[in-house]
Amino acid sequence: MKVNKNITFDYQLYEIVTGNMLNSVLDDEGNIIMRLFQCKDYIQDLYWAEYFKKDIIKYGLRYDGVNLNNLLNKGTIKLLVTSKDGIDYKPVIDNIIRALNLVESRFDIEKSTYEVSETDDKDVVIFFNEGWFKMPYMISLFMLLVKTTKDFTGDTIESLIEYFTKNDTKLLGNNYSQQIMFFNKHNILQQLIIDLEFPEDNWENYKTVDDCHDDCGLMAFFSRRIDKEETLQSIDI
């Protein structure tokens, strides 16, 4: 599909550098709907804004969730994968899609596909199902997979878990390595992907976009949950 990523937005994002990959959601015409971003949590903000019909400002992002509809009830969402350094994602996109499809098969979510951009053949567009937004931390998991599985070459769900448990030091060059080490320590990916144990959460639990961006991601959600469990265990009944 044709992609227009050369759109000017009148804001700057305030985010931690997390590698070379840049993303944005595309509208039906292939235009990016926000500035290219690195922090995976911005996609949660976009969905939250449309879900609650809010005009939001968060860490630089401005988005009109009142009048725009690019994610909510769209069925299929289009995610651009590009880079700031002209990296060619064609050689690794099959690895990313394979990882996504393995998890989607477990979660009973329609499998993601991709197309190479007709505008810049180093870029790819991932088409993914809105089922990933069922609970806030699930879309955070989706983005984690997109950001970290370019080197995944396995073909089983067990090999995907092994990829994360044995490669956290390899990923130390970006912000997600710390998250992966936390997930490994507490067997969170095993719980979600293998055991299919999904702690209940919903978008209504996040009353503001600040709550959404800071608290509903995979790391934040499970950190709070584990802290609560450890606190309860420490109480001498």
pLDDT-derived band at 169 (thresholds 50, 70, 90) equals: low
More confidently predicted of 179 and 93: 93
Q: Classify 30 in phi/psi space as left (phi over 0), alpha (psi -120 to 50) or beta.
A: left
pLDDT of residue 235 exceeding 60:
no
- What is the average pLDDT value for the chain, to the nearest integer? 91
Lookup: tokens for 62? 């401005």
Query: Contact, 124 vs 115, CB < 8 A?
Result: yes
Q: Per the confidence metrics, is the pTM higher than 0.75?
A: yes
| Buried/exposed code over 8-34 (b: 16+ C-beta within 10 A; e: otherwise) | eeeeebebeebbebbbbbbeeebbbbb
pLDDT-derived band at 20 (thresholds 50, 70, 90) equals: confident
The sign of the CA dihedral 112, 115, 117, 123 is positive
pLDDT of residue 234 exceeding 60:
no
pLDDT of residue 23 exceeding 60:
yes
* Predicted pLDDT of residue 72: 96
Distance CA(16)–CA(213), nearest Å, equals: 14
* Predicted pLDDT of residue 156: 97
* Predicted pLDDT of residue 215: 94
Pairing of the two strands 124-129 and 113-116: antiparallel
Of all residues in the chain, the percent with pLDDT exceeding 70 is 92
pLDDT per residue as tens digits for the range 119-135? 999 999 999 999 999 99
More confidently predicted of 24 and 227: 24
pLDDT of residue 195 exceeding 70:
yes
Distance CA(9)–CA(20), nearest Å, equals: 20
* Predicted pLDDT of residue 173: 53
* Predicted pLDDT of residue 225: 87
pLDDT-derived band at 15 (thresholds 50, 70, 90) equals: confident
More confidently predicted of 169 and 144: 144
pLDDT of residue 171 exceeding 90:
no
